[in-house]
């Protein structure tokens, strides 16, 4: 009787150790994935901060002829009559 309970305790201990090992490995994979996600999100935050700084600088610019011409070129694709426009596949 004592031998059977001893085998049961050993089997239960083995199952518990395997369960703990599998759980730890799974948690480690999840941790690594979360670290990767965190790095991606931090990179996105940096990009957004740079974009915000750029937009803030644009808001602080004077509303003069150069500003109007730049907006007309960027947003409306207007060009001056004497300008020559070159297109290439590398700019895409």
pLDDT tens digits for 46-57?
999 999 999 898
Cα(34)–Cα(36) distance, integer angstroms: 5
User: Whole domain around residue 10: which residue ranges?
Assistant: 2-91
Cα dihedral 7, 12, 14, 15 in deg (nearest 10):
140
Cα(24)–Cα(18) distance, integer angstroms: 10
- 7-12 average pLDDT score: 90
pLDDT tens digits for 22-75?
999 999 999 999 999 999 999 999 999 999 999 898 788 777 888 888 888 888
Q: What is the pTM of this model?
A: 0.51
Domain count of the fold of the chain: 1
């Amino acid at each position: 009787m004592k031998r059977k309970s001893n085998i049961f305790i050993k089997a239960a201990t083995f199952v518990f150790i395997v369960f703990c090992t599998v759980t730890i490995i799974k948690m480690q994979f999840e941790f690594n994935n979360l670290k990767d996600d965190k790095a991606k999100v931090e990179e996105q935050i940096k990009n957004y901060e740079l974009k915000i700084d750029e937009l803030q600088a644009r808001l602080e610019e004077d509303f003069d002829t150069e500003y109007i011409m730049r907006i007309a070129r960027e947003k409306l694709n207007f060009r001056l009559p004497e300008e020559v426009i070159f297109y290439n596949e590398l700019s895409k």
